[in-house]
């Protein structure tokens, strides 16, 4: 009752429901979207079988925080957050690709690089780079947005040739993505952090490109602590991270990378608590605010009531 793994609400004017890896999305009439960020957690494109207390609350508030701080760069889909776990916004027809911006050679890209890959999404990577090394300039490595299974790298050329975007649309989205990454980098620096890599999603409404979904959250982004990055990198040590990577690393240690035939390891109460505490640390470090745990026994009821009340007000206003 104090975590939320899934929802099944019956809102008035409901047209369609979509269950993502982490988010439950309700599409209403009048092009209104209700996005509920659950406490589900995914890694290697697999949803784990335990809910993480406060995770959805934290992700939604961080995303809302950065949507507000970047609205001068690109219009975004957000109307309001009537509940800590909920964002209500405008429906935008999504482009079926994720725009990954990378400032450093790490994570999945490093795992490919280590295997000898030197061209990703049409971008040539220099030889002799080290894990967690900074690129001279950030690179964009788009991926297809898979309905299920793993996302797949795709180049600008393939995106245009497959009619996913026009060249003009891609160029505009590329400019938006780099400007957003630059804004996120500047903000992270103020918080003793480095924005290492992140993903953005875009859609179109009334002929205009909008930023949609989340932005600069620990689920969509990777952060390093800035104060000792150089020292640790030069010493061959892994940087201190502020991201979901620690969950992936724990799974890898247990022999799971989402590959066929592999089975999820047991996720104990201690592991759940440790993950929850790390998300709280993420929230407080990124926002500079103290996280106050909500004193609520039934999160689903609170969410449904807050959404219903807001939609009623929105309907009256409209």
CATH number, domain with residue 131: 3.30.470.20
Same domain? 123 vs 173: yes
166: left (phi over 0), alpha (psi -120 to 50) or beta: beta
Same domain? 130 vs 227: yes
Residue 318 pLDDT? 44
Same domain? 228 vs 282: no
Do 247 and 279 contact (CB within 8 A), yes or no?
Answer: no
Same domain? 81 vs 98: no
pTM here is: 0.90
> What are the tokens at 135?
């690129």
Same domain? 198 vs 285: no
Is 251 inside any structural domain? no
Is 260 inside any structural domain? no
Residue 113 pLDDT? 97
Give the Cα separation of 227 and 179 in Å (integer). 24
What confidence tier does 146 reach under pLDDT thresholds 50, 70, 90? Answer: low
Same domain? 81 vs 157: no
| pLDDT tens digit sequence for 156-187 | 999 999 999 999 999 999 999 999 999 999 99
Domain that holds residue 42: 14-93+271-317
> What are the tokens at 76?
């975004």
Same domain? 64 vs 185: no
Q: What integer best gives the mean pLDDT of the chain? A: 93
Same domain? 73 vs 157: no
Mean pLDDT of 183-206: 96
Q: Give the range among 241-245, 256-260, 282-286 with minimum mean pLDDT.
A: 241-245
Q: Give the range among 57-61, 182-186, 277-281 with minimum mean pLDDT.
A: 277-281
Same domain? 21 vs 161: no
Same domain? 142 vs 216: yes
Is 4 inside any structural domain? no
Boundary-marking domain end, from 184, 211, 246: 246
Same domain? 141 vs 222: yes
Give the Cα separation of 77 and 56 in Å (integer). 19
CATH number at residue 50: 3.30.200.20
Indicate the DSSP class of residue 268: -
What confidence tier does 296 reach under pLDDT thresholds 50, 70, 90? Answer: confident
Q: How many domains does the chain have?
A: 2
Residue 300 pLDDT? 94
Closest CA to 203 of 195, 213, 194, 189: 213
Same domain? 167 vs 275: no
């Amino acid at each position: 009752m104090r975590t939320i793994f899934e929802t099944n609400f019956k809102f008035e004017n409901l047209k369609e429901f979509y269950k993502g890896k982490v988010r439950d999305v309700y599409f209403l009439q009048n092009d209104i979207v209700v996005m509920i960020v659950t406490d589900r957690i995914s890694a290697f494109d697999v949803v784990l079988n335990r809910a993480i207390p406060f995770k959805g609350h934290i992700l939604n508030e961080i995303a809302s925080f950065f949507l507000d701080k970047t609205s001068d760069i690109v219009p975004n889909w957000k109307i309001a957050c009537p509940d800590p776990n909920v964002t209500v916004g405008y429906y935008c027809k999504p482009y079926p690709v994720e725009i990954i911006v990378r400032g450093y050679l790490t994570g999945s890209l490093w795992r490919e690089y280590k295997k000898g890959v030197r061209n990703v999404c049409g971008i040539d990577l220099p030889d002799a780079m080290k894990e967690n090394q900074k690129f001279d300039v950030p690179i964009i490595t788009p991926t297809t947005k898979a309905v299920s299974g793993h996302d797949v790298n795709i180049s600008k050329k393939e995106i245009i040739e497959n009619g996913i975007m026009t060249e003009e649309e891609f160029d505009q989205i590329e400019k938006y993505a780099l400007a957003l990454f630059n804004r996120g980098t500047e903000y992270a620096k103020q918080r003793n952090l480095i924005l290492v890599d992140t993903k953005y999603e875009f859609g179109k409404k009334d002929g205009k490109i909008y930023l949609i979904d989340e932005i600069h959250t620990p689920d969509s982004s990777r952060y390093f602590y800035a104060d000792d990055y150089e020292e640790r990198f030069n010493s061959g040590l892994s940087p201190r991270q502020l991201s979901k990577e620690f969950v992936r690393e724990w799974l890898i240690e247990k022999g799971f990378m989402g590959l066929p035939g592999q089975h999820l390891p047991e996720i104990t109460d201690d592991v759940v608590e440790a993950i929850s505490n790390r998300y709280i640390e993420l929230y407080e470090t990124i926002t500079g605010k103290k996280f106050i745990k909500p004193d609520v026994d039934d999160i689903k009821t609170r969410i449904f009531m807050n959404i219903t009340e807001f939609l009623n007000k929105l309907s009256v206003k409209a």
